[in-house]
Amino acid sequence: MIRTGIHVHPHDLVDEGAQTVIDRIGALLPGVDPIVGVNTLFERHPYPTGVLPHNPRHRVIQTRGRLALASSRYGRLRVRQRVEDLTPVIVDAFTAARRAGMRPIAWFSCLNGAYTDASRIATVETLDGSKVPQWLCPARPESLRHALELCRLVIDSLDADEILVDRIRYPDWSGQSVVAERLLSCFCPACRQRLTAAGLDVERLGGQLTSMWRAAGPGAVRGWPEDDAARRWLKVRADTITDFVQSLRESLWKEFPHVRLYLNLWPPSQAYLLGQDFRALRAHCDGAKFFPYHRLGGGAALGHLVDTVPPPQRERVFQDLLKAWNLPYRISYAEFLRCGLPEDFVADETRQAVALMAPRPVFSGIQLWDLPAESVRSAIQAALRPGPRGLFLYCYGWTPLPVLQETGAWMDQELPKYVARSRGQQGN
């Protein structure tokens, strides 16, 4: 059995109507469940360029990191996300989906958004001491209390029995602005304490990371696994994220044992940069979606990271990043800008994710936007080769309706054949 879903943003429901969105998914994508966003990021829609192909009210939307659900209990937290209350339309979407026989999944960002001023006590700090106010640090107890109350709010408001928790990690370079140095985080007091407890000299570590960054820019990540201090720093960050997820999962299990917790992760080759260790995390979730968006270059626009350095350095930095992530593709930066990473990236990352997450189910993220239908089909075929448990498509609002229709028709015809072949191979 292949589980399929498609991501839907709150503004899709507001602008098109919850019933219209659910009806369209049912008609264009038979058997596909809605993955309904209940908060937003600091993000351009669509990302990183283009226009919304079927939104009747907007060509482009800039979301502001707001929570679309509200409750007085959540509102009493010191560390909390700012609210733009869209509860009725979110509830309508879940109701319409269930009435249509679908199994909606609630999807939300956990550590990234627009937070109240009082939340600054728990925000991430970069190596130079700058706060990143849109990111909560996973080492802070206030961040865990916020995440747990957010999960309670989502489960109670929507009677949700499946949740997909996003942004449980450290910052990347994208967001409200492109800042590559956000990769050099977190160095808040709580994280410094954890680093010291792990036997690291924090000041010396900071000097080493600074020196490597000055010499190579974002390409410095190529040297982190080989440098002892940098490697140990990455391990502490991964342990911090794993501890956060474990604490969240254990608390949820006591209150909501029926709820399935899925994690939204970066591609395995890149995830370590952000503190996501697939093997460690698999013990504390019911499965994971990851997103090898090949046209984009992985988890975020790779071109935006490379373009933080002057033009003469971009080819070198791009090749350093390919080597850092063990991506064996012989392509230039100019070729990447034209075509993205090859579709083999989808298969290679899915293969890694399936192996690292076993026996937990893995759902491969499929980029729908900015691609013709035939390329979407090729990406799906590449993702299916390593045998994931499902496909989560991204996303409804950014994808032209004809591409949704062609993709849905193809999946409706081909996925049953794939399932039959898989069962036949297991029987042999």
Q: How far lies 385's CA from each of 259, 366, 379, 421, in Å?
A: 29, 14, 10, 11
Whether the predicted pLDDT of 39 surpasses 90:
yes
Distance (Å, whole) CA 391 – CA 374: 17
Q: Write out pLDDT tens, residues 360-414.
A: 999 999 999 999 999 999 999 999 999 999 999 999 999 999 999 999 999 999 9
> In this predicted structure, what is the pLDDT of residue 422?
74
pLDDT of residue 1: 79
Mean pLDDT value of segment 6-30: 98
Q: What is the mean pLDDT of the segment spanning 337-363?
A: 97
Residue 120 has a CB neighbour count (10 Å cut-off) of 11
pLDDT at 428 over 70: no
Whether residue 419 is predicted with pLDDT greater than 90 in this model: the reply is no
Band of residue 175 on the pLDDT scale cut at 50, 70, 90: confident
Query: Across all residues in the chain, what is the average pLDDT?
Result: 95
What pLDDT does 426 receive? 62
Q: pLDDT category, 118, cuts 50, 70, 90?
A: confident
User: pLDDT-based confidence at 427, cuts 50/70/90?
Assistant: low
pLDDT of 232 = 97
Q: Which pair of tokens denotes residue 255?
A: 């209150």
pLDDT value for 258: 97
Instruction: List the structure tokens of 419.
Output: 């399932």
Rounded average pLDDT over 307-319:
97
Cα 344 to the chain's mean position, in Å? 20
- Asked if the peptide bond before residue 339 counts as cis, ω within 30 degrees of 0, the response is no
Average pLDDT score over residue span 211-240: 95
pTM over the 0.85 mark: yes
Reply yes or no on whether the pLDDT at 18 is more than 90: yes
Contact between 37 and 7 under an 8 Å Cβ cutoff? The reply is yes
**What pLDDT is recorded for position 420?**
84
pLDDT of residue 424: 63
Mean pLDDT along residues 104-119 = 95
Average pLDDT estimate for 120-134? 92
